[in-house]
Structure 1
Amino acid sequence: MLLTPRYGTGSLSDVLPSVLSYLGVPSETDRLGLNLDGVRRLCVLMIDGLGSEQLAAHPDEAPFLFARSTAPITAGFPSTTATSLSSLGTGLPPGEHGIVGYSVAIPGHKTLMNSLRWRLHGSSDAADLPFDLVPERFQPTPTAFERAREFGVAVVHIGPSMQNGSGLTRGSLRGAQFRTSVSLADLAAETSRALEPAGPTLVYAYHGDLDLVGHVRGPKSLAWRLHLKHVDLVVESIAARLPDDGALVVVADHGMVQLERRFDYDAIPEMRRGVRLLGGEPRMRYIYTREGSTDDVESAWRESLNDHFVVVVKDDAIARGWFGPTVTADAYARIGDILALADDSSAVIRSQAEANASRLEGHHGSLTSAELLVPAVVIRPDR
């Protein structure tokens, strides 16, 4: 069964506005009921790929997080990293920040844009961007970090070096002082160091290897469970070093599903007829159709995928509220003409065009509970 993101009351886009309301930033409100009175130094720790259902299923591997878990929040749609980090960083649903998927068509360009790497497919240089894809123009709304800094909050971003000045960082997470982390332990140490100075402070820390292991080995694998143990230890290490006026909020950008069934777009001619570009990712495909072919493509995909996918046209998806209450003209133009969302453990792969991704064991992107529900664990000293 597919769920709908809880924009405005319980989603990733509500996290930083809620946090900033306690750090003295005007016009920000606590949408999540975090109860952080007295907190002046705060870290939001993003664990890429840690869905609430996966955390709940592994209390032995993550005893510290499990014992402190409360009701989950939702990611946005699609449940994918570029969209989720943009929702977190801007405090906006995808329909407003406009980064509406992993791989999307951009008007005026013949190839798809990879939002995570921030480059057009076939381009070897992310710095060589057309004017309309310059990150600060593509997503012009001030980020939560910029809003915080304007009102005297010290803002630090801790993550792998590839995030420093990347297109996605410039588009959705700009405004923070960047510090590189080189390992899980280093992430904990740098986070603790960033929280040492007195005064209103926001630290955003990111860890991505749990997601990598989930993709390659699967979220049900021994490797994934063992890595979760290390993540839990790092969370406990940061929590143990929080200042008296500090807090730690642990969130994730999406969960993950271990695949059991693959439909190969490259091997099914009926699915390719009338399709101009195929975007999205294996569990949530954007289908960009040729002029006049949308109805036929929709019928062909429904017949080919049977009950394993929910297939809807763009306007239906928007009407269901998947992208939020508002969808800008730019966002609308980037969404596929047809959307195909996995409703079980299936995926639409491309064995030829996306050979590496097609071999991965774990995927995400759809609106199942395993993908959409994510933790929002609040930890304060001695609580």
Structure 2
Amino acid sequence: MSPSSAELHPRQWGSYATLADVLPAIDRALEGHRSPTVPIPPDKDVVLLLIDGLGADLLDAHAAFAPTLASMRTAPIRAGFPATTATSITSLMAGTHCGAHGIIGYSFRTDRTATEGPDPHTLNALRWTLDRSDGASALETYVPEDIQPIGGTLAAMDSRGVEIAYVMPAAYRGSGFSRAAFQAKGLYIGATTPREVVNGVTEVLAPRTRRHRFVYAYWPDLDLTGHLAGPGSEPWLQTLQLADQLVADLITDLPQHAALVVTGDHGMIQADMRFDIDTIDGMLTGVQAVAGEMRAREVYTRPGARDDVLQAWRAILDDDAHVAPREQVLDEQWFGPEVTDVVAERIGDVVAVARGAAILTRTLSEPQLETEMLGHHGAWTAAEQLVPVLVEQG
């Protein structure tokens, strides 16, 4: 079975639970209740493992390489739009969609009036850098807690006395994105390899306590391998096997009165139909800034140029992308059912969502490593949008 290229149009999104529903369901489980949205059984402690890039369609297509994960399959949920790590993890932790929390993509413009030089900066939310993923640090320009001020479900759990721990790479501790997404203090255990993740989770759950515990664990390698080698490639399948063994080991070591929840932040497709924004005549005419990533672009236009830019992008991309003005995006609720005024200002004057195998590259403006990637995500296909929610009890 191949990952589905069928699109989930915004009018279909309401039939799926989303990543924003997962932590509220875990919170209810810790309080002894089962959520009707994402059914997680009540337990004293819950471990949430996020495997970056674990898409439901990819898991179905390659189930033979992940027997543990495949045996746990349930109905998938939707990552949310755009289907990208920075947005998805923030939605997961805040328990709300990006129209409320404001991390609306891999990169975006945050303030249309704050300029340094002729044009405003864009913020790369995942790296917390200015303009590019390898740009200067944005910490002095954009305070993470101001850009994303919602503590949400995670902060509420913390205030209620749930013991919180993080098991993920040490390099992420205190980063701009971590500050924006994880607005609750907790024990932090650096873990990079699968064995380190298992040992870290075991270490957190070993002591006896009367308090409820929530452990967030994260493993990034499946996403990284998919970007570089392509989803479904031999290196990717080997990495999927490592992810499966990680989950099997966690289940083996899971104590009584603890539940393991496994999910992903997005799926992935292999895309090879390239439209280079930087070199195609007319794509940058009237454009002040382009943000987002290659499957979902935010286009910020110069005063009075929006309609011309919209027409040009539609003519060039034709059926290879959905191209819409901001008012249509808001009306069709791409970024969630409610978008605050502050967040609405961050959305591009024009938004372009790639279709099929198309990607919207910037070979002159973005790092070569990014423009040459094989695996991509962010758009509306089922392969990008649908992620599993897998549950096991100790």
- TM-score bin, normalised by smaller chain: over 0.9
1:286-334 deviation per Cα after TM superposition (whole angstroms, max 9, x unaligned): 1111111111111111111121111111121122122111101111111
Aligned residue in 2 for 1:89? 93
Of 254-263 and 1-10, deviating more is 1-10
Aligned residue in 2 for 1:22? 29
Q: CA deviation at 1:373?
A: 0.4
Are 1:129 and 2:140 an aligned pair?
yes
1:347-373 deviation per Cα after TM superposition (whole angstroms, max 9, x unaligned): 010111123211010111111111110
Aligned residue in 1 for 2:159? 150
Pairwise mapping of residues 17-56 of structure 1 onto structure 2 (< 5 A)?
Answer: 17-24=24-31, 30-37=35-42, 39-56=43-60
Aligned residue in 1 for 2:297? 285
Q: Distance in 2 between matches of 1:163 and 1:182?
A: 11
Aligned residue in 1 for 2:8? 2
Q: Secondary structure at the match of 1:272?
A: coil
Aligned residue in 1 for 2:187? 177
Q: CA deviation at 1:31?
A: 5.0
Q: Distance in 2 between matches of 1:235 and 1:322?
A: 33
Q: Distance in 2 between matches of 1:13 and 1:205?
A: 17
Aligned residue in 2 for 1:67? 71
Of 293, 296, 299, the residue aligned with 2:311 is: 299
Q: CA deviation at 1:127?
A: 6.5
Of 191-200 and 85-94, deviating more is 191-200
Q: CA deviation at 1:244?
A: 1.6
Aligned residue in 2 for 1:225? 237
**Structure 1's 333 and 22: CA in aligned 2 closer, same or farther, altered over 3 A?**
same
Pairwise mapping of residues 98-247 of structure 1 onto structure 2 (< 5 A)?
Answer: 98-107=102-111, 108-109=114-115, 110-121=120-131, 126=137, 128-130=139-141, 133-175=142-184, 176-197=186-207, 198=209, 199-247=211-259
Q: Distance in 2 between matches of 1:146 and 1:82?
A: 18
Pairwise mapping of residues 345-364 of structure 1 onto structure 2 (< 5 A)?
Answer: 345-354=357-366, 355-364=368-377
Q: Secondary structure at the match of 2:58?
A: helix
- Corresponding letter in the other structure for 1:2: L
- Corresponding letter in the other structure for 1:17: P
1:215-273 deviation per Cα after TM superposition (whole angstroms, max 9, x unaligned): 11111211001100000000011011112211111011001110121011111121111
Q: State the identity as a percent.
A: 37
When the two structures are aligned, how many residues end up with a matched partner?
Answer: 376
Q: Distance in 2 between matches of 1:208 and 1:141?
A: 25
Q: Distance in 2 between matches of 1:21 and 1:87?
A: 17
Q: Secondary structure at the match of 1:2?
A: coil
- Corresponding letter in the other structure for 2:270: Q
Aligned partners of 2:261 and 2:391 also within 8 Å: yes
Q: CA deviation at 1:344?
A: 0.5
Aligned partners of 2:25 and 2:40 also within 8 Å: no
Aligned partners of 1:309 and 1:341 also within 8 Å: yes
Aligned partners of 2:297 and 2:351 also within 8 Å: yes
**Structure 1's 326 and 341: CA in aligned 2 closer, same or farther, altered over 3 A?**
same
- Corresponding letter in the other structure for 1:98: G
Aligned partners of 1:42 and 1:246 also within 8 Å: yes
Q: Distance in 1 between matches of 2:182 and 2:15?
A: 20
Q: Distance in 1 between matches of 2:248 and 2:68?
A: 7
Q: Secondary structure at the match of 2:329?
A: helix
Using the size of structure 1 for normalisation, the TM-score is 0.94
Q: Secondary structure at the match of 1:267?
A: coil
- Corresponding letter in the other structure for 1:12: L
Of 120-129 and 294-303, deviating more is 120-129
Aligned residue in 1 for 2:4? none
Q: CA deviation at 1:119?
A: 2.4
Q: Secondary structure at the match of 1:46?
A: strand
Aligned partners of 1:9 and 1:32 also within 8 Å: no
In structure 1, list runs of 5 or more residues that go unmatched.
none
Q: Distance in 2 between matches of 1:342 and 1:64?
A: 33
Q: Distance in 2 between matches of 1:150 and 1:371?
A: 34
In structure 2, list runs of 5 or more residues that go unmatched.
1-6
1:203-222 deviation per Cα after TM superposition (whole angstroms, max 9, x unaligned): 00001111010111111211
- Corresponding letter in the other structure for 1:161: A
Q: Distance in 2 between matches of 1:310 and 1:138?
A: 27
Q: Secondary structure at the match of 1:323?
A: coil
- Corresponding letter in the other structure for 1:195: L
Q: Distance in 2 between matches of 1:35 and 1:78?
A: 25
Aligned partners of 2:320 and 2:356 also within 8 Å: yes
Aligned partners of 2:23 and 2:93 also within 8 Å: yes
**Structure 1's 134 and 239: CA in aligned 2 closer, same or farther, altered over 3 A?**
same
CA RMSD, 1 decimal: 1.9
Q: Distance in 2 between matches of 1:125 and 1:269?
A: 29
Q: Secondary structure at the match of 1:279?
A: strand
Q: Distance in 2 between matches of 1:137 and 1:7?
A: 30
Aligned residue in 2 for 1:379? 392
- Corresponding letter in the other structure for 1:283: R
Aligned partners of 2:326 and 2:348 also within 8 Å: yes
Q: Distance in 1 between matches of 2:138 and 2:313?
A: 36
**Structure 1's 9 and 263: CA in aligned 2 closer, same or farther, altered over 3 A?**
closer
Aligned residue in 1 for 2:354? 342
Q: CA deviation at 1:174?
A: 2.5
Q: Distance in 2 between matches of 1:7 and 1:45?
A: 25
